[in-house]
Amino acid sequence: MTPQRPHRRAIAIHAILCLLTFSVLAQQNNINLDQAKAAMIQGIDATNKGDLSTAESAFARAVSLAPQVSATHAALGAVYLDEGKIDLAEKELDQAHALAPADASIDLNLARAEVASAHYDTALGLFHQALATPSAPQLSTPETIAYAATLSATGDIAMAQSTLAAALTNTPNSAQLHDAYGTLLAQHENLAQALPQFQQAVSLDPTLSDAQYHLGTTLLALNQADASIAPLKLAVEATPNSFDPHLQLGRALSAQGNDTDALDQLHRGAELSTNVTNLRALYALALALQASGDAAGSLPIFARATNNSNAWKPADYSSALTNYALAHVQTGDAKGAIQLYAQALSIGPDVPTLREDYGAAYLQEQELDHAIEQFRAGLALEPNDPHLHYDLGLALKLKDNLAAAVPEFEHAAKLDPSLPDPPYTLGVIYMQQGRFADSATQLQHAVALQPSNGDAWGLLGSVLRDSGNPTGAMEALKRAIALQPDQPNLHVEVAALEVQAGLKEEAAAERKIAADLSRAAVSRQRASFALKSGRALLAENKLDDAIVQLNTAVQAAPNSAEAHQLLADAYTRQGKTADAALERSRAAALATPPAK
C-alpha cells in the first residue's frame, strides 16, 4: 500500500483547539501544561515536515502530560492513522471523541480508522454525525475516499459513485481519487469503466503503487496479460514484501506462458502468504502454481484455501476441491485425490468434468471398474463428450475388452476429429490385430494432427514396412529418428529396410549406431544404479563400499559431476586428501558451463 500523506489539516485544527484549551487550563496552575503545549508544537512541526516518527513521540508525550485534553489524543490518533497503526489510532481517537463528542474533525478521523478496520456501519454513523454539524468541513481526499468506501460497503453504491465523481470534478488531478473511483467500479465488475480511471491515476502519479497494482490486475482480468506486466512489475518493485502484487504478476506471467518467471513470483508470493487469511487469494495462488507446473507446491496452498467449507459457496467449494484433487493426481497421489473427488461430488454439482477427473484418478490407481463407473456416469450427463468416450475406451482396453473399447475410441474420433489420441490408440490396436491398412490410416491421421509424436512416426514406419511399403516406412522412420535420435530400435528397423534395398554399407552404419546407443543406454542404467547405491552407502558411512559403487558410476558416466563430488566426499572422510582434491576439481569442471 502507498503511504498516504499526513492528514495535516486535522492536526492543525486540533493544534488551535489545544492551545485554546491550554490557555484555559493554565489558570488552574497545572505544571504539566507548558510541557504538553511544547510537545504539541513539536509534533505539529514534525508532522508538517513529514517526520511521523518524531511527531508520534511528541504527541504521545503530550497525551501523557495532558490526558484530559481531547486534542492531544486526536493529534496522536491522526498520526497513528497515517502510519497505518489502525488499532492504536482507534484507541486514541475513541478517547478524543469521548472528550469532545461534537468535534467533526475527530469524528472524520475516527471514521477513517473504522473504515480501515472494516467497521463500516460505525464509520457511516460517524461520517453522518460530522457532516450534519452546522459548520461541516469539506472532506479531504482521504476522507472522501473513506466515505465512498463506507457508502459502497453499506449498500449505497450510487451515492458512493456520485461522491467520488463530485470530488473529481473539484479535484480532477488527484491520482488517489481516480484510483479510488476505479476501485469502486472494479469492485462492482465495471472493469471497462474502471480501466481509464486507473490509467489516469498512474499518469498523474506513476509512484502510486496501489494504482499500478489496480491497473495491472484490471488488465489481467480483461485478458490483456501482456499489458498487465509493466504496471504489476512496478507494484512489486514498490512493495516487494506484499503478497498480492507477486501473486498477480505471477498469474500474468503464467498467462503469457512464461512459467519460469511466473514461478519465481508465485514462490515469493507463497513465502509471503503465511499471514494471508483471504481464502480466495490463497486459492488463486494455488491455481497459478498448478497452472505454471508446480503442482507439488500448490498442494499446501490448496489445503489452506479449502480448510473452511463454511467460507465458500457450495458450488465454488466443490470446484476448489476438484482442482485440489487434480494437484494430487499430478503429483502421483491418486489415492489422496479420490477422497477429495468423492467429497466434491457429495457437495455437487455433478458435472461431466468432475466425473472424468474422478475416473482418471481411479485409472491411475488401476481400479478399472471404478474408473469405468465414473466415465459412464459422466457420459450419462454429457453423451457427446469425446474425452469421456476416449477415457472409457482406455479403461476398457486395460481390461482387455477390445470389443467394447474400439467403438469408444471410434466414437471419440468422430466427435472430435482434431484429437490425436484416438487415432493413435486405434492404430496400435489395429496393428496388434493384424489390420495393417487400417492401422496405417489411423497412424497417418495421428501424425498429421501431432507431427511431434516420435512414437507415432516409429509405429507408422513399422506398420508400413509390414504392409509392404518400404519407401513410406523409411520416410516415417527417418522422421521418428529426427524426433527420437537416441532410440536404438529405430536404427535397427532402418538397417533392416536398407538390407532389403541392397544398401549394405548404410545398413552396417545404422547397426553400429544402434549398438552404440544400446551400450550408452546400458551405461546410463549402470551409472544410475551405482550412483544411487553409492549415495545410500555414503549416507550410512560405509565408505569402502560407497567408493566401489561411486567409481563404477564414474566409469559408466564420466561426465557426472555428482558422482565425482560424492567420490570426493568419500575420499575426504577416509583422509585421502589428494584423491579427494582430484575428484573435487573434476566435479567443479563438469559443473561449470563452458565459456561462450
Q: Do domains 8-171 and 526-591 have the same CATH topology?
A: yes
Q: Is 205 left (phi over 0), alpha (psi -120 to 50) or beta?
A: beta
| Residue 17 confidence (pLDDT) above 50 | no
The model carries a pTM of: 0.72
The cell numbers describing 272, all together, are: 509471503
Higher pLDDT, 21 or 447: 447
Higher pLDDT, 111 or 574: 111
Average pLDDT of the segment spanning 307-311: 94
Q: What is the pLDDT of residue 42?
A: 93
Q: What is the pLDDT of residue 78?
A: 93
| Residue 31 confidence (pLDDT) above 70 | no
| pLDDT band for position 555 (cuts 50, 70, 90) | confident
Mean pLDDT of the chain: 90
Per-residue pLDDT reduced to its tens digit, 155-182: 999 999 999 999 999 999 999 999 999 9
Average pLDDT of the segment spanning 529-544: 88
Q: What is the pLDDT of residue 263?
A: 94
The cell numbers describing 547, all together, are: 567408493
Residue 531 contacts by C-beta under 8 Å, 6 or more apart in sequence?
549, 550, 553, 557, 560, 562, 563, 566
| pLDDT band for position 580 (cuts 50, 70, 90) | confident
| pLDDT band for position 593 (cuts 50, 70, 90) | low
Nearest C-alpha neighbor of 213 from the set 190, 243, 189: 243
Q: What is the pLDDT of residue 62?
A: 93
DSSP element (H, E) containing 216 = helix 209-221
Domain boundaries, the chain: 8-171, 526-591
| pLDDT band for position 516 (cuts 50, 70, 90) | confident
Residue owning grid cell 473513506: 146
Least confident of 100-114, 375-389, 572-586: 572-586
Amino acid at 571: Y
| Residue 6 confidence (pLDDT) above 90 | no
| Residue 473 confidence (pLDDT) above 60 | yes
Task: Residue 539: count other Cβ atoms within 10 Å of its Cβ.
Answer: 9
CATH fold of 526-591: 1.25.40
* Residue 211 near residue 186, CB atoms below 8 Å: no
Task: Residue 501: count other Cβ atoms within 10 Å of its Cβ.
Answer: 13
- Provide φ and ψ at 567, rounded to 5°: -65, -40
| Residue 452 confidence (pLDDT) above 60 | yes
Residues 452 and 449: their CA atoms lie apart, in Å, by 9
Average pLDDT of the segment spanning 221-243: 96
Packing angle of the helix pair 421-432, 454-466 (nearest 10 deg)? 30
Share of the chain above pLDDT 70, in %: 94
Residues 185 and 201: their CA atoms lie apart, in Å, by 14
Average pLDDT of the segment spanning 434-454: 95
DSSP class of residue 309 equals G
Q: Which CATH architecture has domain 8-171?
A: Alpha Horseshoe (1.25)
| Residue 359 confidence (pLDDT) above 50 | yes
Higher pLDDT, 495 or 316: 316
